[in-house]
């Protein structure tokens, strides 16, 4: 069978999505699409970089990547500041990991920048003709906060973090989780074998929950009349109530202790690749970041936070609960990716009442990336 590549205009793709027809399979396997996503999505959007708890003192810094670009955010005397974390000399990364520093010194030739990004010391530069330190500061980028979450954006024209995601703070407050009191518990990096959109589109519906997540389904009422899914532009939110049987300890499946001040579960997606999870029980919140690693793999970061005074057993059991759900999801999305790699069928068909957040996400992708 020969397959001719058909380039489709955004209007045609958007109209198909409106009817419940998915993006073509190639959008999940073609390296040129991933490259356009990096340029047109990730380098124009807010990228989560860390939490304020890691940036409380002057000199505290965190590093990360925004659309593949090394970035650093630090606290200096004027507040938070973001920079491209690449030396103006030979483009070695300046800072590593996270910590506290008096200055930013590149580990290659010891070019040294102050906490405002100004280049202050360059060994041997006194003997270099036409060389002025002030011509080579670190390149500044935008760094903004949403509650305790710190983001960077490489696009000077992008709307503010507050304009994109502000109302999600009110929804989180409704859960009983008090963001300002959360304490970091764990942070890990992971890699999966599916396109980043394959993974997020799985996150954006709970139609599969009753089928594929027995433990989650025992804890949360996932029936469509009580489980809500709402798109809000740059973010979308899902919410479910804890099941009465789980609260009474009558679940057939062994669960973590779901009884606590948080009775509602919330699953928020912040465009383009951050998700925030709150589960019933003692105050808890986890953050996941899903970044493309080529078309057929995703590299991720998972952070877990708890309210103050969390019980050790509860923390371990909730983390295990979240891992169980993630493992079940990985099995699903790995299988979907193999289906997409085959290229047939070219289109999927959504159920528009249960999967409208996925459709909303794919529309945002088309609007950012254009036709293909």
- Per-residue binding string, Fe ion, 307-346, x by CB under 5 A, is ----------------------x-----------------
Minimum CB separation from Fe ion for residue 332, in Å? 7
Residue nearest to Fe ion (CB): 329
CA dihedral 205, 41, 161, 47 (to 10 degrees): 90
In the complex with Fe ion, the residue whose CB is nearer, 162 or 331, is 331
Tell me if 264 contacts Fe ion by CB under 5 A.
no
In the complex with Fe ion, the residue whose CB is nearer, 95 or 204, is 204
Restricting to residues 26-55, name those near Fe ion by CB under 5 A. Answer: none
In the complex with Fe ion, the residue whose CB is nearer, 288 or 329, is 329
In the complex with Fe ion, the residue whose CB is nearer, 47 or 322, is 322
Order of strands, edge to edge, in the sheet holding 274-278? Answer: 183-192, 298-306, 284-292, 274-278, 264-270, 235-241, 228-231
Minimum CB separation from Fe ion for residue 303, in Å? 19
Minimum CB separation from Fe ion for residue 208, in Å? 6
Minimum CB separation from Fe ion for residue 209, in Å? 6
Minimum CB separation from Fe ion for residue 219, in Å? 13
Q: How many residues interact with Fe ion (rule CB under 5 A)?
A: 1
In the complex with Fe ion, the residue whose CB is nearer, 51 or 217, is 217
Minimum CB separation from Fe ion for residue 335, in Å? 13
In the complex with Fe ion, the residue whose CB is nearer, 60 or 329, is 329
Minimum CB separation from Fe ion for residue 121, in Å? 51
In the complex with Fe ion, the residue whose CB is nearer, 37 or 329, is 329
Site of interaction with Fe ion (CB under 5 A): 329
């Amino acid at each position: 069978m020969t397959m001719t590549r058909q380039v489709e205009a955004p209007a045609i793709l958007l109209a198909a999505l409106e009817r419940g027809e998915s993006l073509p399979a190639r959008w999940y396997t073609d390296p040129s699409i991933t490259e356009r996503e990096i340029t047109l999505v990730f380098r124009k959007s807010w990228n989560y970089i860390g939490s304020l708890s890691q940036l409380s003192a002057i000199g505290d810094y965190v590093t990360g990547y925004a659309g593949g670009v090394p970035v650093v955010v630090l606290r200096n005397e004027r507040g938070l500041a973001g920079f491209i974390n690449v030396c103006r000399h030979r483009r070695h990364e300046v800072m590593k990991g996270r910590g506290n520093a008096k200055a930013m010194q590149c580990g290659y030739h010891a070019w040294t920048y102050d906490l405002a990004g100004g280049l202050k010391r360059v060994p041997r530069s006194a003997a270099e003709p036409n060389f002025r330190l002030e011509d080579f500061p670190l390149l500044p980028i935008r760094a903004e906060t949403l509650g305790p979450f710190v983001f960077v954006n490489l696009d000077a024209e992008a709307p503010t973090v507050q304009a994109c995601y502000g109302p999600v703070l009110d929804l989180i407050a409704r859960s009983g989780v008090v963001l300002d009191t959360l304490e970091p518990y764990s942070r890990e990096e992971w890699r999966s074998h599916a396109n980043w959109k394959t993974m997020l589109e799985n996150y954006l519906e709970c139609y599969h929950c009753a089928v594929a997540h027995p433990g989650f389904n025992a804890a949360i009422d996932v029936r469509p009349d009580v489980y809500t899914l709402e798109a809000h532009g740059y973010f979308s939110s899902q919410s479910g109530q804890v099941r009465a049987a789980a609260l009474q300890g009558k679940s057939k499946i062994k669960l973590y202790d779901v009884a606590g001040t948080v009775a509602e579960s919330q699953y928020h997606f912040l465009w383009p690749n951050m998700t925030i999870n709150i589960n019933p029980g003692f105050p808890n919140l986890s953050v996941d970041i899903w970044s493309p690693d080529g078309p057929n793999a995703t590299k991720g970061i998972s952070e877990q936070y708890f309210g103050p005074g969390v019980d050790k057993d509860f923390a371990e059991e909730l983390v295990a609960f979240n891992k169980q759900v993630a493992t079940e999801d990985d099995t699903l999305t790995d299988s979907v990716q193999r289906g997409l790699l085959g290229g047939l069928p070219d289109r999927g068909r959504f159920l528009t009442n249960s999967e409208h957040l996925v459709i909303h996400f794919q529309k945002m992708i088309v609007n950012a990336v254009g036709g293909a």
